[in-house]
Structure 1
């Protein structure tokens, strides 16, 4: 079970297809909330997801984000019966929402509580980390009805599991179990003692305690160097790390670590000058 935490609804939130909670730990929990249609992605959900992400981006108290679905499904893909499907720009709404998730500066964890197919897997692929229930089903079946993943699924899947494995899944359109997904490096399985959401929230709370400038920079480094030879991108990595924080910010985090952990206390012992600086 999740530990008891103070939970708040996002104040500006007035969404019909989403539930959003902010926890005092700095973790936001975003839940796709269309269980009667397997949390499929409609135009309305795409618009609300994009708007919600903009609210969360502007909230300095949010330091990590968990995305999940209501009921038995994470998200079974695009809502092919959406009344707005024939409106020009329908697919672009979904792309904007998925890309908005990928562009979040805070770490994002997908808690895959059930089926994640098509656009649902594309949503999960836009997250930094994916934790899945043992019984979850994963796949990109679009080719079976003459389409292809249209919201970045091809490129992101290839980046996560490699070209050959991604090609096999996309060209066959077959679904795989979460156990096989873990073998491919697509997901991490939740423990038998906890759900995907519980596992994801615990990890998010751990991550949220890390310096935000460091988690933000780590995401930037991974994003800018993905798929490139290390020798070709070291200058980018070094530059981002060297500029990620001021000396004062780094020193404040060293002192925080020293107060939290005796090992770091021996390393980052407070000097009188540092103590004076911290007290200002």
Structure 2
């Protein structure tokens, strides 16, 4: 990793830029951005990119200056999936890397927003699905193209896809191995929002700034509770909610916000 401007390494909110060979990292205004940077290969995944992506996510998730994480791609693609030039030799390593990346994204205390600027295929599609939310360009597409190579979904696709679209629809998307255009992906729930291509960066930033303005402790606990609920009973989730809410009631930020809301109501 190369720090582009070492004087800007302020972990309390100033702009930080780090450049790897295949990934760019920026922190500004409480928002950390990871950009896949192999535009000549449509940001295809090789071992070096996977290693750098894991390091970049570790850097951002550990930083208290980062309130929201964005994941996007350089050029006309989000991520084309595995680099076919190395897939035959490095396939098992790339699949293993997908496990680490998906778990890192779900374990991140911050909201993670995929900014899908173009095609997201195979492992690239599931990189987007592993994020908490997906805002996409109207020129983007997403597809489980694994069967074209005689393979099955990896990078968490078998987990994320049916939870988003249902089992039968997930099977259709896998078996057809087709790229789904943005409008259909929005209707299916693969994308959460679609905007004109020229507005993507602005709209993603606006959403990230809104999330970054929320109390970090509450945001983190909400993410934890919702993902735990996927594998928990109602009783277990209710117990977790009680634990989290009790912790937050005791926090200075929650007390201040509750008092402010109460005063505002009484002054009406």
Q: Provide the residue aligned with 1:131 in structure 2.
A: 135
- CA distance in 1 between partners of 2:177 and 2:41 (Å): 21
Q: Provide the residue aligned with 1:216 in structure 2.
A: 220
Q: Provide the residue aligned with 1:273 in structure 2.
A: none
Q: Which string of whole-angstrom CA distances, capped at 9 and with x for unpartnered residues, describes residues 64-108 of structure 1?
A: 011110011000111121389438634212321232222211001
Structure 1 residue 141: Cα displacement: 0.8
Gaps of 5+ in 2: 1-12
- CA distance in 2 between partners of 1:246 and 1:126 (Å): 32
TM-score, with length taken from structure 1: 0.82
**Is 1:152 paired with 2:159?**
no
TM-score, with length taken from structure 2: 0.86
- CA distance in 2 between partners of 1:135 and 1:54 (Å): 30
Among 15, 38, 55, the residue aligned to 2:20 = 15
Question: Given that residues 159 and 226 in structure 1 are in contact (C-alpha distance below 8 angstroms), is that contact kept between their aligned partners in structure 2?
Answer: no
Q: Which moved more, 1:184-193 or 1:62-71?
A: 184-193
- CA distance in 2 between partners of 1:38 and 1:268 (Å): 56
- CA distance in 2 between partners of 1:50 and 1:200 (Å): 22
For 1:1-280, list aligned pairs within 5 A: 8-10=15-17, 13-24=18-29, 26-82=30-86, 85-86=89-90, 89-192=93-196, 194-226=198-230, 230=234, 233-244=237-248, 246-254=250-258, 258=260, 265-267=263-265
SS across alignment from 2:64: coil
Question: Given that residues 69 and 113 in structure 2 are in contact (C-alpha distance below 8 angstroms), is that contact kept between their aligned partners in structure 1?
Answer: yes
4+ residue runs over 4 A deviation = 227-232
Q: 1:67 to 1:268 in 2, by over 3 A?
A: farther
Looking at secondary structure, tell me which structure has more helix per residue.
2
Aligned length: 255
Question: Given that residues 60 and 66 in structure 2 are in contact (C-alpha distance below 8 angstroms), is that contact kept between their aligned partners in structure 1?
Answer: yes
Structure 1 residue 250: Cα displacement: 1.5
RMSD: 2.5
Q: 1:87 to 1:39 in 2, by over 3 A?
A: closer
SS across alignment from 2:55: helix
